[in-house]
Amino acid sequence: MKLERYWIRFELEPFSSGPKPGCGVTAHNYDDALEILRRTIFKDKVLPPIQEVIEKVDISSLDQKHVIPNMEVPTRRGVWYPRGFTDIF
């Protein structure tokens, strides 16, 4: 099954210490992307309201100074931004 990259921003920032740009996840479809986020970043928490979803996100359009140097490889299924969740799923 083909994988798609998603960039998802939330109404309330789920991460600590100030505003961050969002979450990057590669999944089979939108519902799969949300399930991956529920099982990794938001484990034991409620998924906050979503502000924006960019399907088939062009990685080069993301923040070149913060996101690009701090992301995992976006070609396999799972969270690629923020780092630290690739081995969980």
pLDDT per position as a tens digit, 24-76: 999 999 999 999 999 999 888 888 889 899 999 999 999 999 999 999 999 99
Query: Quick check: 22 and 10 in contact, CB under 8 A?
Result: yes
Q: pLDDT tens digits, residue range 9-24?
A: 988 655 554 446 799 9
Cα–Cα dist 51/46, whole Å = 15
Q: Which pLDDT score is estimated for 88? A: 62
Which is nearest to 40 in space by CA: 83, 74, 70? Answer: 83
pTM of the model: 0.86
Q: Which pLDDT score is estimated for 40? A: 93
**59 secondary structure, DSSP code:** G
User: What residue segments make up the domains of the chain, in order of their start?
Assistant: 4-81
